[in-house]
Amino acid sequence: MEPGPQATNADQGRAEDRVNVFQRGGGPFVAAVEATRMPMVVTDPTVSGNPIVYVNQSFIDLFGYSREEVLGQNYFFLADPDADPEVERLIRSAMIADEALNLEVQLRAKDGREVWAAQFVSPVHDDQGRVIQHFASFWDITRRVRAERRTRRLNEVLESRVKERTQELQTELDRRRALEGVLTESVREKDKLLGQRSVLLHEVNHRAKNSITMAISMLRLQMARQGDPGVSEALENAIQRLDHLARIHELLYRQDSNDVQSVDMAGYLTELCLNFGHLRNPEDHRIELVSDADDITLDVDRAINVALIAGEAITNALKHAFPDKRRGAVRVGLHQEGDDVLLSIEDNGVGLPTTRRQGSMGIRLIEGMARSLNGTLTIEGDRGTRIAVRFPAKLGS
């Protein structure tokens, strides 16, 4: 807002005369206005420019002007150049209409300080109802306005950061949704492949069982035609080994179909011992078959070798370790020992003669499978029999 024109010297003189009259006639009221802490001014609308004709000491203290610098100035000389022009228009309109007005204004002190004030302007009438003065009071609200500005700035910064963070979260959410879509499609494809694999495994298992069954049938026919007891025994041993292989294959097929790459050996050996119990008479409980295995997982190839070794050793123990209806136990163990796994099959039977430790078909098979495991084989047969194979826990070690 631009300051209005200053009064002429003549106008100033008349204004000062009016102020002198106002001060002399005001009595205690003027003394009270002068002593109050609220800045106050009086203007004279009967003089051109509506000049300021009175200011109290609080006004001078707030804005830094001397009384002489203020008297005679246009009412709007304190207006801040950056103030909203609409505010000045409202004040002028109220003065012209002889109406009271209460609003917040942006002013500028003599030293350039920004001063915000809650301003109340009201007309003063004479006995004939004419407006002879405008009385204005100011309440300094600069601190409040500055605090509000700081709050607004902080809110703007906070809102900006919230928007930025929201955008970041939205971007991350979109990325995760896209990833979830990819994963969902991947899971769907995996389920499809698992279904196809399950069908293939069923078909492979069916064909393998048929092939082994056919081989066993052919060997039984051959054995029936043989008159040589030695050949018949060899064929019977072959039939038993094929039967063992079929059972091992069946147990593998019954493992968790979602993992064809590895085998839980603890559960596998337990099932294996239960299945090999068929070699005994169902009413014969003389020999106890026990498995004791750590929580060890092996790939399928090594699991088959371990099962074949255990099956061969269990078969030998059941057939030869407990003659004459002796009681006893066969224990199968699989334990982690450092970087190695130790497979042991031991019984408390009559022991394994030295002649059978060397050169028998069963021992040669066990030796071959131990080499396949990259393991070392030890056989103890003095007090019962203990067959142990130590092999690396990690594949390829």
Q: Taking residues 193-208, what's their average pLDDT?
A: 70
Question: How does pLDDT run across 42-100, given as a tens digit for each residue?
Answer: 999 988 888 999 999 999 999 999 989 999 998 889 988 888 889 889 988 888 888 89
Structure letter (DSSP) for residue 79: B
> In this prediction, what percent of the chain has a pLDDT beyond 70?
83
Could you state, in order of their start, the residue ranges of all structural domains in the chain? Answer: 9-140, 155-255, 262-397
Q: Report d(CA 283, CA 325) in Å as an integer.
A: 12
User: Rounded distance, CA 357 to CA 339, Å?
Assistant: 28
Which range has the worst mean pLDDT, 72-86, 147-161, 222-236?
A: 222-236
Q: For residue 393, what are the contacts with CB-CB under 8 A and spacing of at least 6?
A: 296, 336, 339, 340, 341
* pTM given for the model: 0.50
Q: Is the pLDDT of residue 7 over 50?
A: no
Instruction: Report the alpha-carbon distance of residue 34 to residue 377 in Å, rounded.
Output: 116
pLDDT value at residue 376: 96
Mean pLDDT score, 160-165: 92
| Chain centroid to CA 207 | 48
Tell me the C-alpha distance between 145 and 397, whole Å: 78
Give me the CATH code for the 262-397 domain, please.
Answer: 3.30.565.10
Single-letter residue type at 133? Q
Q: Of the candidates 177, 107, 117, which has an alpha carbon nearest to the alpha carbon of residue 141?
A: 117
**CB-based contacts of 377: which residues, under 8 Å, 6+ apart?**
366, 367, 370, 387, 388, 389
Which residues lie below 8 Å from residue 240, measured CB to CB, with a gap of 6+?
A: 315
pLDDT exceeds cutoff 50 at 4: no
Element (H, E) at 261: none
In CATH terms, the fold of domain 9-140 is Beta-Lactamase (3.30.450)
Tell me what the pLDDT averaged over the chain comes to: 83
E strands, the chain, where?
A: 40-43, 52-55, 101-108, 114-125, 131-140, 262-264, 287-293, 297-299, 328-337, 340-347, 376-380, 385-392
Lowest mean pLDDT among 35-39, 89-93, 204-208, 267-271: 204-208
Predicted local confidence at residue 348, as pLDDT? 92
Confidence of residue 301 (pLDDT cuts 50, 70, 90): confident
Average pLDDT over residues 320-345: 92
pLDDT band at 3 (very low <50, low <70, confident <90, very high): very low
| 203 Cα distance to chain centroid | 43
pLDDT in tens, 284-297: 678 889 999 999 99
Identify which of 348, 265, 374, 280 has the alpha carbon closest to the alpha carbon of residue 310.
Answer: 265
Whole-number pLDDT of residue 21? 60
How far apart CA 33 and CA 14 sit, in angstroms, is 22
For the segment 14-57, what is each residue's pLDDT rounded down to a tens digit? 556 655 665 555 555 566 677 688 999 999 998 888 899 999 99
